[in-house]
Each structure stands twice: as C-alpha cells, then as structure tokens.
Structure 1
C-alpha cells in the first residue's frame, strides 16, 4: 500500500504517544465483528485478556469503566466497514474518554473515513511521484555506491521504479 499502517505505527510508537493514559491498536480488516473489535480494544488497553468469557454488554461496560476520564490513543487499522450502526455501537464506550483523546482509522475507503464524522480530519495518502520513488530506490539500492559508475543498473532500477506504481512498500 501507500504506507497508511506504517504511518499509523510511527504515531503509535512515538515518544509523544506516552502522554496518553491508554493506548490500543486493533487490526480490523474486512470482517467487522463488533464484539471481537470491542474485546480487542479492551484487551489492548489493559495489556491482558481481560474480556475472557464476558458477553458483549459486559465487555462494553468494562471498556466504558476502563476508559472513563482517561486520554486514549486508539488506532483502528485497515477498516473496511461502512455500516453506520456498527460504528455507532463501537463508539458508545469511547464517549467517556478525556479531552485530548485521539482515534486514528486507516482505510482504503474514503467513505469509511467520512462516516467517522470529521471530514476536515481525513488525510489522504497519495502514491509517491516517480521522482520520489526513484529517490527512495536509489538511496537503498545504491547506498554506498556512485550511481554514475553503474549506468546499466540505473536503467534497470528506473524500470523497477516504473512498475511500483508509486507504492513505497513495493520498492
């Protein structure tokens, strides 16, 4: 991809993220299982399998109690679901977090981002330009070499960059 998850992980692991009382990272993917996602958030903020055999209402109540008045950094990675009712139910326990809390959602679907309710906070990550791709490729492929000494490798490298479609992870 264009690096959405990588960027979110940099935010999550940044020293400034330690200013949040609680942090949670949940990979959602294309199956939006509300109960499993809610359990994953609870388990992540508590660093344990705290949800155990609790039913959905119990998990939501425990999550609400855990989050109440605390600052939260929540990353929901690779979200596909556009069902507003599911999102509304997932957000319910998040309504008690302290001011300054942040929820970051990575998605391939702009409609998911817009549905979250803050269109001014949607940041689209575009593929790299061919020049930027070449710059990344050159830095890694020719790390300690003078590229002018290897014109045949430059030609091959340019072809590789052309096939990557601006996706940094493809390089």
Structure 2
C-alpha cells in the first residue's frame, strides 16, 4: 500500500485500516487472529471506538507491509486533530445551542468569549431561555456567572439580582 500520509492526517487510523482490509479483500477476524490480536480489538479499532497502541500498530504495519510506525503516526495525527478540536471548543461554547436572535447585532464567531464575558452573560440572562443560560453556566462556571448576574434563576427569563455591580 502506497500511502501519502498528508491526505490521511486527522482521520482515525482504524477507518483507514478498515478501508485497506476491504481493498485487499481481507476479513477482520482472520486478519486479527493472524496478528495475533483479539478480533474484538481490531473490530473496535476499525470502527474508531479504540485507539491504536504502539504494539498493535507495529503488528498491523508488518502484516500489511507498511513502513514501521505508519499506523501509529496516523494515530498521532488523529490525536492532534482531536486535541485541536477540544482546544477550539474551549474558546467558546457550542454556538448552535444559542438562538441567532440573541446576538442579532453581532457575529457570534467574532466575539471574544473571555474578554467580553460580562456583556455576554448579561445578555444571555436578560434574554435567553433556561437551556441557553445553562450553557453559559457550564462554559463560564457558576462563580463567574454570579459575579456578573448576581443570584440567578436558570428557569426564569430574568435573573434575580441580589447584588448590583
């Protein structure tokens, strides 16, 4: 298998393995037993439910005639992509959970969710529903929300201000 790693970066190596096995007309169970590995392990890997270990990766590389480390390198690229996605979600909450009408006057993608937390929290607690308020509490934490909104009620439309800042 001639493999250009560039086009496979970020894809779970199990999906690539599954494709390669189908291309070679190899069944997963006999392939797994030839490694020797548990068939369930290879099945979970090909479904993207389990990551490759260095040991299993070397066995697969040898069995498919790949350069040593190829599959594990793909696992590393996948892990990097997963970490990047996690990092991006830390910059802001899932924006699909907010109604567009809440931020009708601005592009939500351009908001700096850390620097502009006070107006964002205020707006959500003035106009948001209970689900949107909960997203903000989960993202910023109760302490930060209480700092801005005072004592609040997630179920009501308006915050209950016990302190004014």
TM-score range for the pair, normalised by the shorter chain length: under 0.3
Q: Which has the higher strand share?
A: 1
Larger radius of gyration: 2
Q: TM-score, normalised by structure 1?
A: 0.22
Higher RCO by CA contacts (8 Å cutoff, separation 6 or greater): 1
Which structure has greater helix proportion? 2
